[in-house]
Amino acid sequence: MHITLKNVKEIPAGESVVLLHKKEALLRTSLLTRKEKSYIAALPKDKSSDIQAFNRFGSHLFVLLYEEKPQGYQTVEQCRLLGSKVVKHIKELDIRSVTIASTDPDVSLSEAVAEGVILAGYQFNRFFQPSTVEKRALSFSVIGILHRKATKERLDVLSALMEYTMFARDLVNLPANYLNAEGLSMLLQERALPLNIKVTVFNRKKIEALKMGGILSVNRGSVDAPTFTILEYKPEGHRNEKPLVLVGKGVTFDTGGMNIKTGSYMTGMKSDMSGAAAAASALFAIAAAKIPQYVIVLIPATDNRVQGNALVPGDVITMHDGTHVEVLNTDAEGRLIMADALSYAKNHDPQLVLDIATLTGSAMRAIGDLGVVGMHHDAGKFMEQLKESGEQVYERVVELPLWEEYKEMIQSEIADIANIGGANAGAITAGKFLQHFTDYPFIHLDIAGAALRDKAKGYLPTGATGVGVRLVFDFIRRLAEKK
């Protein structure tokens, strides 16, 4: 589903309208009739902060009432959620287009409503029969924004961000039998080329030549070849001399390997490439929005499976940078493939490397699905900015420490480092493992909790959420504005 977002100067005749209004000031608006106002004013208190639908003989009016929250970003999130509530009505009434009108001076509130509508309207319909799709799909395709600060430039940026957030969701929702490492690389390549992004895909031979032992070892149990994809966006007039490097975990399916996942733990592991999807999609949105930043994305990809020659616990492997790793658990595979990419990133002399990965169940247990776990080394300023972005886009970042002492937990008796720590602080020891392969300002994001949902909520659907795309996009856009 593609939705066109455009700025409009007036409400087209017969058009359905979403009126966003501050609750307290509602009686002053000229956009409602007297009857409509008194109807809303008479509502019981608990109902009145929400959404009201009116039928105006064929066209529809949805009044969204928001309240000023203590923090600006909370008000914005409230507007996204209000927007997501419109979708149910749009579907029931088979509405094709709406205009979002608001008299609040802040246009970002109207944009947030549009965001909520678009993100909540997402569907993954690929595997339904056409007759079912016809019933499920929304015929909705146009959103107009009526606001004097709604410029075409702003809305084009938002459109790009929405398009690629949904692309990330599509990638994650694709099951493992439709998406292996080579398939992932091909899909990324296809999308990157029209966006002025240079693509390089390393095949198995090249990965062997580069001695990327982490990727190759995880791949030993697979019948499909691994890939290493490099996306490079270096627009004319970019503001940063050294590139920002994003690394995304591309495990197309995680069975756990020989330490096979039991019970229901394997369910949903097609989403173990959510980091890859987020990093690549954020770059696509950046390129589509023509943000003047030099950004490189690295995607190590393979599935983690069980086959004849699969990695076994106790194996010692040699990584791209020469480090010997004792693999004590084959289910801690993400850090093995990510480590090779992090060593490889040194070649680019990065300003900052930010990795994003569904890395640990530990991160999920710590904060659930409400945010993203973040750690950093030597990147405190960037981390603060990232947290700000996290609030703005409501993909909030919770920081955990990478204290020196945690390193002791991943010491090995027979090699340079072990790939797991003890029972405690699992998200941190994973981050600490990654840090071993870095020598630059470094941020690690663990999105294990928020990447996949088994129940829809607000503008987040069942299945893939696309978490990380809006976060990384906003972070990089702000960096471009700063200098």
Nearer to ligand BES, 201 or 373 (CB): 373
Contact status: 329 vs ligand BES (CB under 6 A): yes
The token duo for 27 is: 């009686």
Using CB distances below 5 to 8 A depending on partner kind, what does residue 362 bind out of ligand BES, Zn ion, none? ligand BES
Of residues 265 through 324, those in contact with Zn ion by CB under 5 A are 272
Secondary structure element (H or E) that encloses residue 400, with its range:
none
CB 360 within 8 A of CB 331: no
Contact characters 430-449, ligand BES, x per CB under 6 A: ------------------x-
Separation between Cα atoms, residue 108 and residue 79, nearest integer Å:
9
Separation between Cα atoms, residue 298 and residue 358, nearest integer Å:
15
Nearer to Zn ion, 44 or 422 (CB): 422
Contact status: 334 vs Zn ion (CB under 5 A): yes
Report the nearest approach of ligand BES to the CB of residue 362 (Å). 5
Helix residue ranges, H only, 210-318? 213-219, 274-288
Catalytic site residue 335? Answer: yes
Using CB distances below 5 to 8 A depending on partner kind, what does residue 435 bind out of ligand BES, Zn ion, none? none
Whose structure tokens read 């290493």?
A: 228
Using CB distances below 5 to 8 A depending on partner kind, what does residue 364 bind out of ligand BES, Zn ion, none? ligand BES
CA 361 from centre of chain: 18
Residue 141 CB contacts under 8 Å (≥ 6 apart), including other chains: 1, 2, 3, 4, 96, 97
Q: How many residues bind ligand BES (CB under 6 A)?
A: 16
Separation between Cα atoms, residue 124 and residue 142, nearest integer Å:
19
Contact status: 317 vs ligand BES (CB under 6 A): no
Using CB distances below 5 to 8 A depending on partner kind, what does residue 360 bind out of ligand BES, Zn ion, none? ligand BES
Catalytic site residue 191? Answer: no
Contact status: 418 vs ligand BES (CB under 6 A): no
Nearest residue to ligand BES by CB is 361
Exposed (0-12), middle (13-18) or buried (19+): which is 286, by Cβ within 10 Å? buried
Separation between Cα atoms, residue 315 and residue 296, nearest integer Å:
32
Contact status: 323 vs ligand BES (CB under 6 A): no
Report the nearest approach of ligand BES to the CB of residue 22 (Å). 40
Contact status: 332 vs ligand BES (CB under 6 A): yes
Contact status: 182 vs Zn ion (CB under 5 A): no
Q: Please give the single-letter amino acid code of residue 219.
A: N
Secondary structure element (H or E) that encloses residue 184, with its range:
helix 181-192
Nearer to ligand BES, 144 or 248 (CB): 248
Contact pick of 358, 389, 438, 465 for ligand BES (by CB under 6 A): 358
- Compute the residue count for the chain: 483
CB 233 within 8 A of CB 283: yes
Nearer to Zn ion, 232 or 331 (CB): 331
Residues that bind Zn ion (CB under 5 A): 251, 254, 272, 331, 333-334
